[in-house]
Structure 1
Amino acid sequence: MKQRAKAFAKKAHAGQKRKSSDAPYITHPIRVADRLEENGFSTELVCAGYLHDVVEDTLYEIEDIEREFGERVAELVAAHTEDKSKSWQERKQHTINTIKYAEKEMRYLIVADKLDNLLDMEVDLKKQGDVVWAKFNAGFEQQKWYNESIAAGMYVGLDCDDAPDYFREFEDVVDRVFGDD
């Protein structure tokens, strides 16, 4: 099922590029899925890692994901799919609220995604400088608020033993990118 999800995501994101580089978009969901796999998470969660941006950024709908990969994968993808009809602020606030109260697997997916995005942003900032912020729907201050809020909310109600190592890595990257040093 993982290989089918990867192939589906490759097809869905064909021709798309990452926001701040010429890298093929599919590199992002592959890295997210790889991180989830490396942490020993379920097949359904790894598949959701490959598919997490399909509904949000392509013509496919959640029903397509459910038909191809089942209810659980669709549920995980749906929990992390933003409603693009809402403002940037509303969408991000929804994710912040979700991270605080969602079940563990949904949190694992959200943080794996945000970590990969932020690691990419960190590289782009080193190469391109502050011009990177202009490529996003929100600038430095809004991105800082969003990522710091994710970091603050991801542990709410979660046992320390249930937090994967990459949660700490996310906190470290947030500090490096948005810290005051």
Structure 2
Amino acid sequence: MLKEKAKNFATKAHQGQTRKNSDEAYITHPIRVAQRLELEGSSDSLVCAAYLHDVVEDTPVTIDDIQHEFGNEIAQLVAAHTEDKSKTWKERKQHTIYSIQNAPKEVKYLIIADKLDNLLELEKEYQILGEAIWANFNAGYEQQKWYNQSIVKYMYAGLDKSEVPGYFSEYENAVERVFPQK
């Protein structure tokens, strides 16, 4: 089964990595993103891309490796959501904001599922670490607020109401809780 292969591939690629603000195994994040998409009835290709969405960014695995193992469709989904780490934080985030405005719906689904999981985890960790949590990021509170609010602003672009998964509003609500309007 392709989804199991993708999960195992990602687990091996992320072996030894932990989440930014905890000692939780990194693979728990891609697993949660994939589970969210699977619960929404997403295609097997999109669920596979969810398992694999961070391997090119955060491990020695390349897009060519993904294409060889999983085919063009999954490789293209992963590539569409992979940040170019040679760029600055602001450039990478601008690219994601541009992508969310113009990307096919499957790419939007992957981006928002990923951002939602990250934000829900940040919200939990904030309860423990408080304001000190922002020191663990390349960008502080104000920049994170700008980025997440920009994603919310553009994530519905090009989607019919019938194409918007329930977790989009969950993300919007999480952004409002973590980055309240003053």
- Tell me how far apart the structure 1 counterparts of residues 101 and 10 of structure 2 sit (CA, whole Å): 28
The equivalent residue for 2:113 is 112
- Tell me how far apart the structure 2 counterparts of residues 11 and 82 of structure 1 sit (CA, whole Å): 21
The CA deviation string for residues 97-122 of structure 1, in whole angstroms up to 9 with x for no partner, is: 00000000000000000000000000
TM-superposed CA distance for 1:180, in Å, is 3.6
Q: TM-score, with normalisation over the residues of structure 1? A: 0.99
- Tell me how far apart the structure 2 counterparts of residues 30 and 158 of structure 1 sit (CA, whole Å): 26
- Tell me how far apart the structure 2 counterparts of residues 137 and 128 of structure 1 sit (CA, whole Å): 17
Q: TM-score, with normalisation over the residues of structure 2? A: 0.98
Q: Percent identity among equivalent residues? A: 62
The equivalent residue for 1:122 is 123
- DSSP-derived class of the 1:6 partner: helix
The equivalent residue for 2:92 is 91
Where in structure 2 are the equivalents of 1:136-151 lying within 5 Å?
136-151=137-152
The equivalent residue for 2:178 is 177
The CA deviation string for residues 53-105 of structure 1, in whole angstroms up to 9 with x for no partner, is: 00000000000001111100000000000000000000000000000000000
The equivalent residue for 1:156 is 157
The equivalent residue for 2:67 is 66
- Tell me how far apart the structure 1 counterparts of residues 19 and 131 of structure 2 sit (CA, whole Å): 17
Where in structure 2 are the equivalents of 1:39-78 lying within 5 Å?
39-78=40-79
Q: Which moved more, 1:7-16 or 1:149-158?
A: 149-158
The CA deviation string for residues 126-170 of structure 1, in whole angstroms up to 9 with x for no partner, is: 111011100000000000000000011100111111000000000
CA RMSD, aligned part only?
Answer: 0.7
1:19 and 2:23 correspond: no
The residue identity in structure 1 corresponding to 2:44 is T
The equivalent residue for 2:80 is 79
- DSSP-derived class of the 1:137 partner: coil
- Tell me how far apart the structure 1 counterparts of residues 142 and 52 of structure 2 sit (CA, whole Å): 29
The residue identity in structure 1 corresponding to 2:11 is K
The equivalent residue for 1:167 is 168
Structure 1 unpaired stretches of 5+ = none
- Tell me how far apart the structure 2 counterparts of residues 157 and 70 of structure 1 sit (CA, whole Å): 27
Aligned residues: 181
- Tell me how far apart the structure 2 counterparts of residues 133 and 21 of structure 1 sit (CA, whole Å): 14
- Tell me how far apart the structure 2 counterparts of residues 24 and 156 of structure 1 sit (CA, whole Å): 34
Structure 2 unpaired stretches of 5+ = none
TM-superposed CA distance for 1:179, in Å, is 0.4
